[in-house]
Chains A and B, each alone.
Chain A
Amino acid sequence: MNSTEKHKREPLLHIVKRDSIVWWKSWLIRILAVAVALIVCAFITVLLTGENPISVYATMIDGAFGTKRRIWSLFQNLAMLLCISLAVTPAFKMKFWNIGAEGQVLIGGLATASCMILFGELLPSVVLMPLIIVASIVAGAIWAVIPAFFRARWNTNETLFTLMMNYIAIQLVSFFSYIWSVPKGSGQIGVINSATEMGWLPSIGGHDYLLNILIVGALTIFMYVYLRYSKQGYEISVVGESENTARYIGIDVKKVIIRTMLISGAICGVAGLLLVSGTDHTITRDTAAGRGFTAIMVSWLAKFDPIYMVLTSFLIVFLQKGATEITTIFGFNSSFSDIITGIIIFFIIGSEFFINYTIKIHIPEKGGRA
């Protein structure tokens, strides 16, 4: 018998798909993944910088939670990222590859800024605020519906279409930044209505960002209920899983695509509103700050569940905040913080493999068999 050959060639490990997994086990795997990621990062930190990894991590935590102002800023950033993630979720659940959230947010923000600039001195606040809200929502929705309409009507590729819509939005913002720049010709709008604060979202109890956070909180609950318990949410799932099945039961697929993108774009418009009217009080090309793309990752990581999205967007924002802090405190090259963030996200995404699959170790059997 060639049993020696057998043991050499028999695979030691094999990958078996799990039937199902208890919830605590899957969380244990995720926590372990983060722990392993931190250990790997520690080694890399020592290798590349010679700094004590513990103090680097401490600085990261300090960067995120160190002061009251930092905590508020963390939650504000979390709310913004979460808001845009909520916006892209119904589209991705429908398998509509909307990578145009960045542009939809910007155009919503631009609509807000326009209203603030043009009507800030003409209209009373009770009229101006509703106008701003409607304008930003409508602008975001239009930006999203254009590619949706073309996809529904002529089956165009929504990925390219939404991507290109981003560039149009960015250029529009550049254009109006020039037109409305203060001082003229600087290309910067600067803080709008800084004296009158017209069109600014009010602060609650002295907290500037509290209203933003509350609005996003409400949106989170709305999206959770919408996707899970509403008929429209159900239609989104069916269209996303199988357009044929949707047709078979008489769902108007075109209508669902357009309606869903309308909602997606409208929420992006809200995000633009919150960023311009509720946070920055100005608009630049970087107002969305790449969140339109990061949001896609947040949404997928959370498997389109709005409640999990709170956790995933927290994770991303925390890493960003912490990474910025260590680059300034330790004087690292900014790529270093990207490396740390990258490793941690890699391990977290990688852990999903171990949640879906299990690895069996084959122990070679000694001796023959009857």
Chain B
Amino acid sequence: MDAKTPAIELKNITKTFGKVVANKDICLTVHRGEILSVLGENGSGKTTLMNMISGIYFPDHGQIFINGKEAVISSPKDAFDYKIGMIHQHFKLVDIFTATENIVLGFKEKDGFNIKKSAQRIKEISEQYGFDLDPMKKIYEMSVSEKQMVEIIKVLYRGADILILDEPTAVLTPQETKKLFAILRRMRDDGKAIIIITHKLHEVLELSDRVAVLRKGEYVGSVETAKTSEAELTEMMVGKKISLNIERSEPKNPEDRLVVKHVNCMSIEGIKILDDVSFTARSGEILGIAGIAGSGQRELLEAIAGLQHIETGEILYNDPKTGAVEDLRDKNPLQIRELGVRLSFVPEDRLGMGLVGNMDIVDNMMLRSYRSGKTAFLERKEPKSLADRIIEQLDVTTPNANTPVRRLSGGNVQKVLVGREIAAAPTVLMAAYPVRGLDINSSYLIYNLLNLQKENGVAVIFVGEDLDVLIELCDRIMVIGSGRVTGIVDGRKTTKEEIGLLMTSRTDGGESNEQH
């Protein structure tokens, strides 16, 4: 095959969903032996585009050429016949099966099914590209990164030579990301065409050979990674230059608002998830919480919010009005509110916990306030005007306030949730990964909202994953690893390296056996 013929070429691909144009006249090429990053804000149409290459959607217009020949991909099976393999963000594996069983599942071998032979081939593939995987391990025993490896091997096993990865690093630790990148580079050197979807700029620069940028469903252009910079890519992505500086004011008369003392929590399986956690959140200050995903951040916030049972320890709240000290331990969210504690909580799982997807914006506003009023009936006037206010002030893109929130894009869902939580005039505001999956504009909007709350004297607790953001936004940063506080550092003085070190300092003996 001619090396100059692109592995995939897209010409004028257009896809609409109802009135929404998800992709408009997209043109894109990927060559063999090349890693292409598809970069774009949320809702820019990256995943839709990839779903058309992998046969999940069918384009309304336009053509797809594979190895120079026009291809019709109308099902995932067609995609597989063209040797296209997609690794989705959410894994599709059978938990109680081994890696091998999952990989061969549904695949018709030419010379009959033989699990030993398959395991052998999986081993060969693993060695060739540097996967560190036991083919006989069961999925439920695996870490997220191992599961991802199974997904990648699954498509390689089926002979894919065009691989599409949708946000592959979203669930990985920095070390695991490094390993993944090494594997991807080896596959590239082996002549495979690789497309990765991402919105993490430094990864784009580190990994890919070329970058294609999408903006609001349109193709902006492609640049060679070597010839571009973070600033240029950002500009292509958002259309205008955005200051990367997050403003940070000095805390004004900080007071201890929330004092957490020696909190211990167990999971249902009896594993310790919070281990002697102590810290203080002060008013007028943003306290960042850093750590590898799943180190106990969620449980900590849920424990404070009254959603997680605490084995031992105290959670003390200093009421700024009365000066009284309340112990929030063993109280449910309603009891906490009845104590007069104005605690707002933006949970990680927005549609599964913070909001109700099938309800409209107005009814979602009511979640916090529906109990008000003396009658047994709902009062929808207040929530309606609150919904309209949030839509206007936070620039929520929606037909109207009666649209179910599940129809909104990720960023708009988050605006609705954060808007509601802030509207409750909190004294403590907890936000778990509030910018996850949000584009740059929406992220900055959220940062500004948090800063505004801080200036109003709210004690803000911010669980984040992007260390650069944590360092620029937070006054203090608490690092947790495996459920323990490994350090609390000053946001103005600390470095990424210091936090990174604290993040991993407790995990070496535990689940991460990949460190050398």
Contacts and interface: CB of A to CB of B under 8 A. Distances in A.
B18 interface: yes
A234 B366 contact: yes
Contacts of B69: 2
Given A237-B356, A238-B367, A244-B349, A19 B18 contact: yes
A248 B345 contact: yes
Interface stretch (A3-11, A56-64, A164-172): A3-11
Contacts of A363: none
A154 interface: no
A245 B70 contact: no
B376 interface: yes
A248 B305 contact: yes
Contacts of B349: 244
Contacts of B318: none
Given A6-B70, A11-B58, A230-B378, A245 B19 contact: no
A253 to B, nearest CB: 11
Interface stretch (B88-96, B219-227, B265-273, B332-340): B332-340
Nearest to A241: B356
B379 to A, nearest CB: 9
Nearest to B11: A369
Given A19-B18, A245-B352, A250 B358 contact: no
Interface in A1-56: 1-3, 5-6, 9-11, 14, 16-19
14 contacts: A9-B74, A11-B58, A16-B17, A18-B18, A19-B17, A19-B19, A241-B359, A244-B352, A245-B356, A247-B333, A248-B333, A250-B332, A250-B337, A252-B332
B74 A10 contact: yes
B359 A11 contact: no
Q: Which 5 residue pairs across A and B have the least CB separation, nearest first?
A: A250-B334, A19-B18, A250-B333, A244-B353, A241-B356
Contact of B359 (A230, A233, A237, A251): A237
Most B CB contacts (10 A, CB to CB) among A6, A10, A242 go to: A242
A118 interface: no
Contact of A241 (B345, B357, B371): B357
A237 B349 CA distance: 19
Given A1-B70, A2-B69, A229-B377, A247 B307 contact: yes
A126 interface: no
Contacts of A248: 305, 307, 333, 345, 347, 353-354
A69 interface: no
Contacts of A207: none
Nearest to A1: B70
Interface residues of A, number: 32
A134 B306 CA distance: 40
Interface in B306-327: 306-307
A249 interface: yes
B363 interface: yes
B370 interface: yes
B50 interface: no
A242 B70 contact: no
A234 B69 CA distance: 56
Interface in B40-90: 58, 63, 69-70, 72, 74, 78
Interface in A193-251: 229-234, 237-238, 241-242, 244-245, 247-251
Nearest to A226: B376
Given A17-B17, A237-B359, A250-B332, A231 B352 contact: no
B368 interface: yes
A287 B356 CA distance: 40
Contacts of B70: 1-3, 6
Contact of A11 (B74, B332, B334, B357): B74
A248 B354 CA distance: 7
Given A249-B367, A250-B336, A252-B332, 13 more contacts: A9-B74, A18-B18, A19-B18, A230-B376, A231-B376, A237-B363, A241-B358, A242-B352, A242-B356, A244-B353, A247-B333, A248-B305, A369-B63
A11 B75 CA distance: 10
Contacts of A2: 69-70
A14 B19 CA distance: 17
A47 to B, nearest CB: 37
Nearest to A232: B376
Contacts of B479: none
A110 to B, nearest CB: 32
A230 B366 CA distance: 12
A230 B345 contact: no
A362 to B, nearest CB: 8
A339 to B, nearest CB: 36
A101 B333 CA distance: 34
Contact of A245 (B63, B335, B367): B367
B486 to A, nearest CB: 28
Contacts of B353: 242, 244-245, 248
A1 B74 CA distance: 18
B156 to A, nearest CB: 26
B212 interface: no
A3 B355 CA distance: 48
Contacts of A251: 334
B72 A6 contact: yes
Most B CB contacts (10 A, CB to CB) among A1, A245, A252 go to: A245
A242 B351 CA distance: 9
A196 B334 CA distance: 55
Interface in A234-283: 234, 237-238, 241-242, 244-245, 247-252
Most A CB contacts (10 A, CB to CB) among B306, B354, B367 go to: B367
Contact of A231 (B58, B305, B363, B370): B370
A242 to B, nearest CB: 6
A103 to B, nearest CB: 29
A87 to B, nearest CB: 20
Contacts of A16: 17-18
